[in-house]
Amino acid sequence: MITARQSRAARALLGWTQETLADKARIALTALKRLESESGLEVYEATRDQTRRALEAAGIVFLSTDRGQGVLLVDDRGNNPTRSNPSR
């Protein structure tokens, strides 16, 4: 399950506004604002799911451990075989 903090952090990593994420997730802006609110507003599971899918499609990985939650932006440009490897 995506949390309000994870959604906001993922948007920050991607440089997306709420409007951009709502558009890419195909949800109403008000639904996203509810999801990202810290006031504990109810959010449909479908809203969370569509938001998570849009962020994952952009390279976000959601992390969850017994110590907390987070997000990671995966840079797949490192998989390009023609790119030089500075560590060699």
Give me the domain span that covers residue 18.
4-76
Determine, yes or no, domain membership for 81.
no
Q: Are 65 and 71 in contact (CB under 8 A)?
A: no
Residue 3 neighbours by CB under 8 Å, 6+ apart: 69
Determine, yes or no, domain membership for 62.
yes
Determine, yes or no, domain membership for 83.
no
Domain count, the chain: 1
pLDDT tens digits, one per residue of 21-63: 999 999 999 999 999 999 988 999 999 999 999 999 999 999 9
At residue 34, the pLDDT reads 97
pTM: 0.82
Find the CATH number of the domain harbouring 58: 1.10.260.40
d(CA 5, CA 10): 8
